[in-house]
Amino acid sequence: MPITKPYHRIWRPVKDYDWSNSVISFDDNSEPKPTLDYLYDDCFANQEEKKSLITATRMILRDLNTLYDYIEPSDDNLGVFSHRIYELLLRTAAEFEANCKGILKANGYSKPENEWCVKDYFKISRAARLNEYRLTFERWETGHVFRPFIEWNPSRRELLKWYDAYNEVKHDRYGNFKKAKLEYLMNALAGLICIMHAQYGEGMSYVGFQEYGTTNINEGIVETPIFTIKAPHFPEEEQYGFIWENIKTDQQPVVNYTFG
């Protein structure tokens, strides 16, 4: 049975949502129908915070395009390292952390915030099926498919190589400088974009990426001129099965996800 109320800042497909009439909120009998309106409600996620997070990511993407003036986006260059890559890697991974902390905080995660670390961020993986996400960058020469959370099996956490590299160069840049390489930067950026989709779904593009051109959105896919995301598959019992119009005035229209 589908989930009858959304979790704070956790996207899921909405059961029976009609993509062919996605702008229509009522049917011919004036009965409300499934919509994505919950994504744009402050009860689900603070919309100003969402804009701030997307603005920070958009700035990283702009700087990435400048980096591309000097390093061709290709598998042949995955091992290239530099101070500019180092700078972007730190900013990107820090934004990933900010998003993870926001998800945990929104859901009333019980552990003290000053003790949160990657072991806590891993708990988001089961809720969002992060290890299933796939992303491609449109300028990437070889059409490389990035799976930034492939190591995060839902039942077992392995080290994320890009996140581990971020921590190593952050704490000892001189000794670990060669880990500030394009491979880890691109996986970190893919991870950041995917964790944003895991929160805001189709709503992430409307406020952040139109300036780059047309954004195509369909079930499980967000396609922009910069990147394309393929979202995880959620079985019916893990999908959202509510009509937002009918529940949005409830005392608690959005509920906490229990991370354990």
Predicted confidence band at 106 (pLDDT cuts at 50, 70, 90)? very high
Quick one: pLDDT at residue 32? 87
- On average, the pLDDT of the chain sits at 90
Closest CA to 5 of 41, 51, 49: 41
Confidence of residue 157 (pLDDT cuts 50, 70, 90): confident
pTM of the model: 0.93
At 23 the pLDDT is 52
Confidence check: pLDDT of 26 > 90: no
- For residue 44, the model assigns a pLDDT of 97
pLDDT tens for residues 166-209? 999 999 999 999 999 999 999 999 999 999 999 999 887 665 56
